Chains A and B, each alone.
Chain A
Amino acid sequence: MSGPTETTAPVVGTSVTDTRGSASAEPPRVPAAGTAASTRDVKVSPHGTAANPGARVVQVQKSLMVHNDGVAAANRASFRGSLVLNVVSSPGSGKTALLERTVRDLNGDLSVAIVVGDLETDNDAERLHAAGAPSVQIVTGTVCHLEAEMVARAVDQLDLDGLDVLVIENVGNLVCPAAWDLGEDLRVTMLSVTEGEDKPLKYPRIFKDADAVVINKIDIAEVVGFDRGRALDAVRKVAPGAHVFELSARTGEGVGAWLDYLRERRRLKASAIAAAATDAS
C-alpha cells in the first residue's frame, strides 16, 4: 500500500449538509486512496443540486439492522438464564456433529435445546432430537441466514423454563449470518481442517465477531495436510480475543475443553442474572 493513510474520524452524527459547499471539489469521508474501502469507489454526489432543485435532504441515520436488533434484544430478555450460542460455519464443517456430541456429553449435567436453521429438510433437527435435545427446525427456504424474528417464532415451541443452554445452529454460510444478532450470548464460528487454513482471512467479519472459534475434524488433520500453525495464526490475526478449541466431534478428542467452556460461561451468566435480580429487589 502506498501513500499516507488518512485518519478517518468516527462518522457518528456527521451531517450531510456539511458537505454541500465542498461536494463538487472533495467530498468528505471518502476513504483515502489505496485503502481497503477505496477499491470500490464511493459514489458521493452533491445534494439538492441544480440538476434536482426540488429535492431536499432528510436525515435518517438509522442502522438497517434496527428492526432485527430490537427483536434480538427482546429474545435476549426472554432467554433469561439460559446460555445462548449462535453457531455459524460453512456447510459441512460439522456443526450438527458437534452439537450431537455436546448434547450427549452434557447429558444429566446441563439441559440443552436446539434451534436449527437450514434452507430445506428437517434432517438436522431429527439428528439432534435423537441425540436427546428438544430441537426445532427452521426451514428458511431461500433465505441464507437466520434473523431474530425466525428465532423468536421457533423458541415459542420450546420450554425455556430452567433450560441451561440454548444453541442456535445457523444456516451453513460464512457470509450472510454475520450481521444478524439473534439475541445470543456467544457467537461460535467453526471451521474444519478440510477447508483451508486461511478461512478466517477469507471470511473476516464472521471470525472477527466470534467469541469462540472451533476447529473441527482434527482427527483427520494429518491426512489432509492441515497446517495447524498457519490456521491458528490466521485466527489470531483476525480474532485475537476469541477462545480457540481444536477438537474432533467424531472421536471426542479435545471436546472436554469445549464442554468446560460452556459450563463456565453458563455459570457466569447464571451468577450475573442472580446478581441483577438481587440488585433489583
Chain B
Amino acid sequence: MHEFSLVMSMLDLAEKAARADGARRISAVHLEIGALAGVVPEALEFAFEGARVGTMAEHARLEVTYLPAIAYCATCQSEFELDNRFGIAVCPSCDTPSADLRQGRELQLAHLEVEE
C-alpha cells in the first residue's frame, strides 16, 4: 500500500503548485503513471479518496494516464513497446533482451485544474 505515500507526496506538490498560482481550489489532478511503476490503480484511487480530505484537492477528480513501457534495442537502434505486463523487454525485430527501459517507471504529477 505504498500508494498512500505516493498520494501524500502528490497532494503536497499539488497544493504548492496551486498556491503558487494563486488558486484556492484544485478541481482536478492529472497523473502520468508508467506501466512498470508498480502502482495498483484501485489502491491509488482508494488512497486519494482518504488523503484528499481537508486539502485544497478535497473535491478534485483524479485523472490518470497510464503510459506503456518502452525499451531501447541497442542492436536495432530503435525503441519498442513491451507487449506484456511482465517486464519482458525482448526486441520484436532481433529477439535480443534489453535492459534499457526508456519509459514505464513514471510517477509524474503532470498538471492540475484549479479555480479561484
Chain A residues proximal to chain B, CB less than 8 Å: 1, 5-8, 10-11, 16, 29-32, 35-40, 42-45, 47-48, 52, 54-68, 143-145, 147, 175-180, 200-202, 204-208, 236-242
Give every chain A residue within 8 A of B30 (Cβ-Cβ): 16
CB pair A36–B103 under 8 Å, yes or no, is no
- Counting chain B residues whose Cβ lies within 8 A of the other chain, the interface size class is 35 or more
The A-contacting residues of B in range 26-61, CB under 8 angstroms, are: 27-28, 30-32, 35-38, 41, 61
In Å, the complex CA distance between A176 and B6 comes to 10
CB pair B36–A64 under 8 Å, yes or no, is no
Give every chain B residue within 8 A of A7 (Cβ-Cβ): 79, 81
- Number of interchain pairs (Cβ within 8 Å): 187
Give every chain A residue within 8 A of B67 (Cβ-Cβ): 8, 11, 29, 31, 37
- Chain A CB within 8 A of B76 CB: no
CB pair B116–A240 under 8 Å, yes or no, is no
Give every chain B residue within 8 A of A58 (Cβ-Cβ): 17-18, 21, 23, 111-114
A-B contact pairs, 27 of them (CB 8 A): A5-B83, A35-B68, A36-B69, A42-B65, A42-B66, A44-B65, A47-B113, A54-B115, A56-B23, A56-B113, A58-B18, A58-B112, A58-B114, A60-B110, A61-B111, A62-B109, A63-B106, A144-B2, A175-B2, A176-B38, A179-B37, A179-B38, A205-B105, A206-B38, A207-B87, A236-B97, A237-B97
